[in-house]
Structure 1
Amino acid sequence: MSTKRHCFSCDLKDDSKLIAEYKKYHAAGNAWPEITKSIKDAGVIDMEIYLTGNRMFMIMEVDETFDSEKKAKMDANNPKVQEWESLMWDYQQELPWAKDGEKWIALEKIFKLDN
């Protein structure tokens, strides 16, 4: 099975209380099962989120069935995903260079260590 990596960034509101709450939602076993199921159903085989200050980085490993437009449609039609996204937006904020409505922004790969 061939996989592909996608990397994204998003900011949290710069408030230590909100950041702590956000981290609790994402601690092992705390993400809503409907959310993790929707992620896996879209072809995401692994996902990690890293945090420094209030800036987050998400790394997704996806299989050949993953299609970002299809996932966006699936998410838009899933009330539980919409509820989660609305809740998370209480903690998140767009990057300074984000377009209107843009939350997680894809990162540009600028270096890879040659093997």
Structure 2
Amino acid sequence: MMKSILLVSFAACLLSCGGSKEMKTEEKVFVVNIVPEEKKLQEYLHYHRQVWPEVEAGFRKAGYKKISLYRYQYLLVMKIEVPVGADLGQMGKTAEAYSPRCAEWNRLMAGYQVGVPGTAQGQTWVEAVPFYEFRKE
């Protein structure tokens, strides 16, 4: 009995004292188009040169590890790094709930986005499914 109490105490100390291993993460990739108007594209890019601090604080609060955006003309690619098995829907809600400015940002950005071919009416960001990877071992 004493051994099991000591083991539980040791494990709790490791977790609370920073002795645990770094959380495993995974990358996910999403795509969307910007409304095909040069003015809209330039506005969208301008916003992303000065992302509101509340939005990035919401990302941190929700547990996102990294978010990167890429573009080719009006096609946007977003790569996110999140904890393995993360509930992306819940993470999005947590980020948006952080501040009213986060929800405002999402509404504003949605006005610039349209789905890629094959998405349902009103659907914007969709996950791109990986199908090939090269890795030098």
Q: For structure 1, which segment, 88-97 or 71-80, has the greater mean C-alpha deviation from structure 2 after superposition?
A: 71-80
Aligned match of 2:123? 102
SS state at 1:44 partner: coil
Q: Determine if the alignment matches structure 1 residue 68 to structure 2 residue 96.
A: no
SS state at 1:103 partner: coil
| Structure 1: runs of 5 or more not aligned | none
Q: Give the alignment's TM-score, normalised by structure 2.
A: 0.73
| Matching of residues 82-93 of structure 1 within 5 Å | 82-93=103-114
What is the CA-CA distance between 1:38 and the residue it aligns to?
A: 1.1
Measured against aligned partners, the alpha-carbon deviations of 1:65-108 in whole angstroms (never above 9, x if no partner) come to 84213123325645322211111122111222222442210001
Seq. identity, %: 25
Supply the RMSD in Å over aligned alpha carbons. Answer: 1.9
Larger radius of gyration: 2
Higher RCO (Cα < 8 Å, 6 or more apart): 1
Q: Give the alignment's TM-score, normalised by structure 1.
A: 0.85
One-letter amino acid of the structure 2 residue matched with residue 113 of structure 1: F
Which of 16, 20, 24 is equivalent to 2:42?
20
What is the CA-CA distance between 1:4 and the residue it aligns to?
A: 0.6
